[in-house]
A and B are shown apart, each in its own frame.
Chain A
């Protein structure tokens, strides 16, 4: 069934190109990708002298070491003392650790009724197959609410430090070379095109299965946040802002935290007052089970995603 092909046509086929590439006859990137070597770092005697002079001037102006012998003295003392203190602390801690109960011993104080109940009755009481999630989101739900608020306040704090007004950002856009993104970087864009959906789906899977398998809101949120960061570094802020801008960020963050707070408060207050809380536990192992854990995991996941992305965007651009 074979038929003859002229040499011209054969040279255009994929199999021929692949073979030449494999043999090393032809470089596929030659003439298609612009390749320019970086200029060598050069210094003339003049620039070297200027740099040395600047360095000395800065040192003089900051410390004025000639007139300020005390600074020299104390900087030496501090260096020595720092080493001594660190060594002391390390030795002391190692010594103290050597006195602790041996790792893995059966009658360690840690193996008491607390962990026993988490492991033995956790499944019945929380409905979660994953004992860790059951512990942090049902038994110690108040701590975890505090922990989620740590993320929230950390994002707010970074905003205090780095947030720049949107109007100022627009004005600076031309001057500021942080704005020059790796536009149209084909390799990055194609990999992001393939990877982003997979990462998002995996993140959602980790969040939704938090009560069944290792994972949960925090880890799943971190995965989704990484996906968003990959997207924004491949396609730039303009495209990202079409679906994730400051407004979406605020709405998602506030809704998820408030939802978590409301669910949590309902759980704490009914529990404390000895009331029935009407949250069905479901059948362990099913995806819709384990009471408050699944909705809380979703809320935590959204909050963590928002925080991860907000950190990246604030450090990169000074705004979302």
Chain B
């Protein structure tokens, strides 16, 4: 057996170990350990990705002596390995981008706790990506939820406490529904292992027995994960949680935590219930409708917002809507477009959060629009990065967002009755995106007049904030790579999805 096969499991275990050790370390050492951990994670998962591409088939890794339906196992395919590498990269860049804010906003005695949260969050993301067992997935969903709460409330002021309470209540409701669905499934199939459940569900569907509880289970799990990833009507926890927590938390929450749940939902669709069964049930139509509502309402809310970080947060609601709309199309093309959008949205949303904090730093720490006037001239790199992120979100060619919108419309064309709503919603949402993002870009490149009410700004050079600048440059490159070199990635997703089921 090749030694590379151990790497995914080793990367999950290393994350857990790093979290445990960090609780006994000082903040600085914990920070260094965290960096090393993420770099190791990238290296290990990259090796796995290359290995899986090379062998061309997924493999199963048994955690322990006992084979699958009795013991735990993880399953590694191309898509999983790719997502793991990508999540680690975004995690690394978000942590780099937010280092100054962490120093400023977190109490001294609690800095090492932050790194515990991040380490365990990474472990749970990797486990959610790789696991082949529903109950393991649930355990790591719990770790994910609790550590995300910690990430929000580590900056202690009234708004973040309120946001974390909201997040906790909504997120626990989601976990509860997921657990209920899982119990139903276990009662009907007698298995927790994903591939065995799929077999049993296929048998039950062929016999036509237990149709009704199966639909209920699917609905409960979909709604639970939709609440946790902030699909439109369940998005109320999102703006405060992303808008007021410390910078690296917002970046991580928006681009990783919600995406981890979406990936789990994809897994449930493909590997637990079987996509054919999901298509026949009406659940995807519900997701489609909510997705389209989210695309439009999220953008409308973002237009009304005066605080730049909350605006970016509301834009996330719209983007999550895109992803669920792609699932709702019910075709493989639609799912590929959704996965590509997960990737491109993670890259550009984290970029936007980091760039926006660079702009607010140059405007006396204020997030209001009026104070941001001319911020692009005061902090040049952040201005450029924000423009790149905005263009990517709006969907200009060359940047990543264009490709995902193209994929969505390609997937919609030829669909019997969902083509028109999808295309119209895409068009409206793109225009609305352009309204609020271009409004901000124009605002930050308008020369500042002498306005006594404006917060005093200062010029920030690239050299002052080395880590943030490096992170921004990497993010810009990542976005350009995703936009210009999309074909191999789409091929990878397509192959991975083929191995997925």
Contact = CB atoms under 8 A, between A and B. Distances in A.
A143 interface: yes
B281 to A, nearest CB: 14
Contacts of B180: 93
A109 B187 CA distance: 7
A279 B146 CA distance: 34
Contacts of A138: 64, 66
Given A146-B127, A254-B24, A258-B21, A114 B70 contact: yes
B36 to A, nearest CB: 17
B13 A156 contact: no
B413 interface: no
A118 interface: yes
Nearest to A146: B139
Given A143-B139, A156-B116, A271 B65 contact: yes
A306 B133 CA distance: 30
Interface string A148-168: 011011101101110101000
B9 interface: yes
A82 interface: no
Nearest to B203: A109
B397 interface: no
Given A109-B200, A113-B69, A150-B142, A271 B20 contact: no
Contacts of A312: none
B71 A139 contact: yes
A271 B139 contact: no
B130 to A, nearest CB: 11
A163 B109 contact: yes
B190 A271 contact: no
A268 B154 CA distance: 34
Contacts of A152: 19-20, 23, 120
Given A109-B200, A146-B143, A261-B16, A153 B190 contact: no
B304 interface: no
Nearest to B60: A272
Contacts of B1: 273-274
Instruction: Classify chain A: how many residues form its interface, as a range.
Output: 35 or more
Contacts of A273: 1, 6
A101 interface: yes
Interface string B1-40: 1000110011001001101110110000000000000000
B385 interface: no
Contacts of A140: 71-72, 135
B140 interface: yes
Interface stretch (B89-97, B210-218, B356-364): B210-218
B257 to A, nearest CB: 14
A146 B140 contact: yes
Given A114-B191, A271-B64, A272-B61, A142 B113 contact: no
B136 interface: yes
B53 interface: no
A143 B200 contact: no
B439 interface: no
Contact of A271 (B24, B62, B109, B184): B62
Given A152-B23, A257-B20, 10 more contacts: A97-B213, A99-B213, A109-B189, A117-B70, A142-B71, A143-B135, A253-B23, A254-B20, A267-B65, A268-B13
14 contacts: A109-B189, A109-B200, A111-B190, A117-B70, A139-B70, A140-B135, A141-B72, A152-B19, A153-B150, A157-B149, A165-B109, A261-B16, A265-B13, A269-B9
Interface of B: 1, 5-6, 9-10, 13, 16-17, 19-21, 23-24, 61-66, 69-72, 109-110, 113, 116-117, 120, 123, 127, 133, 135-136, 139-140, 142-143, 146-147, 149-150, 153-154, 180, 184, 186-191, 200, 210, 212-213, 216
A-B complex: 4 closest residue pairs judged by Cβ atoms: A271-B65, A146-B139, A109-B190, A96-B216
